[in-house]
Structure 1
């Protein structure tokens, strides 16, 4: 049976990672970053491994070089290996954004930025970089200067390796995104919002969206931080929990948005994408206010069908096109 390029790549990532897990006595994700770095550098960089393991790694890497792979093949295979590692080391906060959401976001970004072919992009909770590299792969005719921030050093390393293997320019910082960032405001922010409480009350006190008492919502603070790092007139694309506007702090969030941004669109993702109704999410599109930029006549509100249902998706796309003609030509 002939394997697809993604299957061949995944097998190589998986087998070489397994070899390094045993030799280095580290986690699967740590070993995956190591093998990815070896492939990118075309060199085995681990010194304390046996000759037998070194020879086996060399054979896997040699066989890999003989084939040509697209950036999208590499991204998908690396993502599968990341998912495997996350399942082995149960990390509930490390959930990768589904491919279909990344692809749909690239479509939305293209629609909202219009003729702009060069832009800057920030993901303040970049994780393994899968969402950002999906967008970069699906906007091949754009020049994107991308930035990513995450507090988890293993995930940042995986994002670094993945971007290198796909040959994408991506500047990464390993830090708490709610601390001061040394990144200039960008044209576009994308973020699958981390949902939960932010434990650092002293830092949270600096934000307008801090809680009146107790810990603040991290997802609210991420929205405010993202707004601060967006240029006037720039766009913000958030993957949000459906209950975002139903929490005790929702009124404060709504007031903040009204003060600083225009709500452009709210697109509810199909519940079939998620394990249960409580986990369901939507895409929220905001535009930072700018002198001379008016809000849309009406917010684009869409309940998305299954993204694999071609006929229903074509109907929705037609509706979105009409909205753009009526609202974005203003």
Structure 2
């Protein structure tokens, strides 16, 4: 199948992809090497991830700055906007640098109220894959995550039929690698019986560590784990404790949380999002914060 997948070309682009200064180094997703510090494009859309950004030029500048900083992993979805973030990525970065990898996800649509209704029938998934291809302006998607569950989180049940549809699209040469998102440990195992996956994307952070065992297992297997909401769902007490640690280190809470994730396990990839160039630079610098064993021990007490 690989012979049917065209390689990216760098012809016509002046964007840099040097990653020597990024914290965390790199990770390999199948045959694709990416920086462990990536960028999540979700916040580039308007309020509630609907409609265009208030500052379109600013959104384009953030994407270009991400690549100039050496980031080679951008996370997106055609449901963001919908379609908005993919169109911004294409406008800002196409033709894409050869080392840049764009990861998208399917399994949900958007309704007029800004909801995320599930859309995981075979015909839905095929439509979404083709929409991502068109919006991004590529012949093959680097990595597609199958989003399970709903807005409340993972839901039990089989994902076999949905995931098998993505496997078919992969066999047709439209997808290079597969992953799963918003899933239970059992669903990860089920997907792995159907086809290889290269990443799992779930909610996980310093306070909510329900996937600790899964992360450790995936690390042994060489599968990436991509946490979203690195500061999501903290209780006031947990937030205060994190702020106290950050204050002692002369850093922000976000910096400590991102640095902790990078030091938690080598297979963790970060995709913090922002719509501001200055904030993107702060996130990169913050993720490089060095935490001592004493810091880590204190932070472990924050988990629920």
TM-score (norm 2): 0.31
Higher RCO (C-alpha 8 Å, min separation 6) = 2
Higher strand share: 1
Larger radius of gyration: 1
Higher normalized helix content (fraction of residues): 1
